[in-house]
Amino acid sequence: MDLTVYSAAWCPDCREAKRFLAKHDIPYKEIDVETTPGAVDEIIKRTGKRAIPQFVIDGEWVQPYRPGQGFLYEAMSKRLGIKTP
Protein backbone atom coordinates (compact mmCIF):
# COMPACT_ATOMS: atom_id res chain seq x y z
CA MET A 1 0.00 0.00 0.00
CA ASP A 2 1.20 3.48 -0.86
CA LEU A 3 0.01 6.16 1.58
CA THR A 4 0.62 9.90 1.43
CA VAL A 5 -0.63 12.25 4.14
CA TYR A 6 -1.20 15.94 3.39
CA SER A 7 -0.96 17.78 6.69
CA ALA A 8 0.36 20.78 8.64
CA ALA A 9 2.08 21.02 12.02
CA TRP A 10 -0.60 23.38 13.41
CA CYS A 11 -3.48 21.01 12.55
CA PRO A 12 -4.79 18.93 15.50
CA ASP A 13 -6.71 16.54 13.20
CA CYS A 14 -3.49 15.96 11.26
CA ARG A 15 -1.58 15.14 14.44
CA GLU A 16 -4.28 12.66 15.46
CA ALA A 17 -4.22 11.02 12.01
CA LYS A 18 -0.43 10.60 12.21
CA ARG A 19 -0.67 9.20 15.78
CA PHE A 20 -3.18 6.65 14.49
CA LEU A 21 -0.86 5.61 11.66
CA ALA A 22 2.14 5.40 14.01
CA LYS A 23 0.18 3.30 16.54
CA HIS A 24 -0.55 0.76 13.81
CA ASP A 25 2.95 0.91 12.25
CA ILE A 26 1.60 2.10 8.91
CA PRO A 27 4.32 3.78 6.85
CA TYR A 28 3.44 6.94 4.97
CA LYS A 29 4.94 9.84 3.10
CA GLU A 30 4.06 13.22 4.57
CA ILE A 31 3.50 16.36 2.54
CA ASP A 32 3.49 19.49 4.70
CA VAL A 33 1.11 21.93 3.03
CA GLU A 34 2.90 24.87 4.66
CA THR A 35 6.31 24.09 3.15
CA THR A 36 5.50 22.22 -0.07
CA PRO A 37 4.79 24.53 -3.01
CA GLY A 38 1.58 23.60 -4.80
CA ALA A 39 0.36 21.19 -2.09
CA VAL A 40 -2.72 23.25 -1.19
CA ASP A 41 -3.56 23.70 -4.87
CA GLU A 42 -3.33 19.92 -5.37
CA ILE A 43 -5.72 19.30 -2.46
CA ILE A 44 -8.22 21.80 -3.87
CA LYS A 45 -7.89 20.32 -7.37
CA ARG A 46 -8.48 16.76 -6.10
CA THR A 47 -11.09 17.35 -3.39
CA GLY A 48 -12.67 20.72 -4.13
CA LYS A 49 -11.78 22.04 -0.67
CA ARG A 50 -8.84 23.12 1.50
CA ALA A 51 -9.41 20.49 4.20
CA ILE A 52 -6.55 18.66 5.88
CA PRO A 53 -5.59 16.02 6.73
CA GLN A 54 -6.02 14.21 3.46
CA PHE A 55 -4.86 10.64 2.82
CA VAL A 56 -3.95 9.44 -0.64
CA ILE A 57 -4.20 5.64 -0.47
CA ASP A 58 -2.93 3.91 -3.61
CA GLY A 59 -3.93 7.00 -5.61
CA GLU A 60 -7.38 7.42 -4.02
CA TRP A 61 -8.00 10.64 -2.07
CA VAL A 62 -9.65 10.00 1.29
CA GLN A 63 -10.59 12.51 3.99
CA PRO A 64 -9.91 10.60 7.25
CA TYR A 65 -12.05 12.83 9.48
CA ARG A 66 -15.36 14.64 9.50
CA PRO A 67 -15.70 18.19 10.85
CA GLY A 68 -17.37 18.03 14.24
CA GLN A 69 -16.86 14.26 14.46
CA GLY A 70 -13.07 14.02 14.40
CA PHE A 71 -10.92 11.20 13.07
CA LEU A 72 -12.82 8.28 11.54
CA TYR A 73 -11.09 5.46 13.43
CA GLU A 74 -13.41 2.64 12.38
CA ALA A 75 -13.61 3.64 8.72
CA MET A 76 -9.85 4.20 8.44
CA SER A 77 -9.08 0.91 10.22
CA LYS A 78 -11.24 -0.90 7.68
CA ARG A 79 -9.84 1.06 4.70
CA LEU A 80 -6.24 0.45 5.79
CA GLY A 81 -6.75 -3.22 6.66
CA ILE A 82 -6.15 -2.81 10.39
CA LYS A 83 -7.51 -5.68 12.46
CA THR A 84 -9.45 -4.41 15.45
CA PRO A 85 -9.86 -6.61 18.52
pLDDT tens-digit series, residues 6-35: 999 999 999 999 999 999 999 999 999 999
pLDDT of 85 above 70 = no
pTM of the model: 0.93
State the first-to-last Cα distance of the chain, in angstroms, to the nearest integer: 22
Alpha-carbon gap, residue 39 to 21, rounded angstroms: 21
Domains contained in the chain, CATH given: 3-79 (3.40.30.10)
Mean pLDDT to the nearest integer, 37-66: 96
DSSP secondary structure of the chain: --EEEEE-TT-HHHHHHHHHHHHTT---EEEETTTSTTHHHHHHHHHSS--S-EEEETTEEE--EETTTEE-HHHHHHHTT----
